[in-house]
Amino acid sequence: MRRAWIALSALLLLALAGCAHGPRVVTISAQELSERLARDFPVDRRLLEVFDVRVSSPRLRTEPSSNRVRADFQVQASDRLGGSRLDVRLAVISGLRWEPKDRTLRMERVDLDLPPRADREADRLQRIGLVLASRLFEDQVLWRAPGDSPLAVQRITVTGSGLELTLAP
């Protein structure tokens, strides 16, 4: 009986030790991501030497079904040649990548998410949005790991409440 108890205890300790060396997961809330993103805005840019654009008020949501994030921004643009103005919400959908060199989580493969419309304003919005998506949002930092120790991220998982970074053991 005593041997069985010792053997069972040894197996339990080995199992617990194995769990301690399993992959660690860092959880980042959607609110933390939104707050980090908001630090970089508002942004004022001149695009294509024709449009003066101000991008502000970012809101970030997670989309677990596609393992991507969606960021909505307020965009105000004025056409320097024609004098017309545009004031709309613009959305981009993005994948995520880990950059080990500076220990950051960044947006990648940014796509414009516009509702279908067929008018002159939609055409202008499409042109402005595509340039913004490629120049402003691609490679945008969403999170930076604290401290100095290197992190090896195996997987980035988008959840309903934020992100989970699975670290290499």
How far apart, in whole angstroms, are the C-alpha atoms of residue 74 and residue 58? 7
pLDDT of residue 2: 41
Query: Rounded distance, CA 18 to CA 101, Å?
Result: 30
- Please tell me the predicted confidence (pLDDT) of residue 11: 36
- Model pLDDT, residue 118: 64
Entry pTM: 0.75
Q: CA torsion sign, 17 to 22 to 26 to 30?
A: negative
- Set out the domains of the chain in order of their start, with CATH numbers: 21-167 (3.15.10.40)
pLDDT of residue 125: 66
How far is CA 109 from each of CA 137, 155, 163, 167, rounded to the nearest angstrom? Answer: 9, 17, 17, 22
Residue matched to tokens 């055409």: 123
Residues of the chain whose pLDDT is less than 50? 1-19
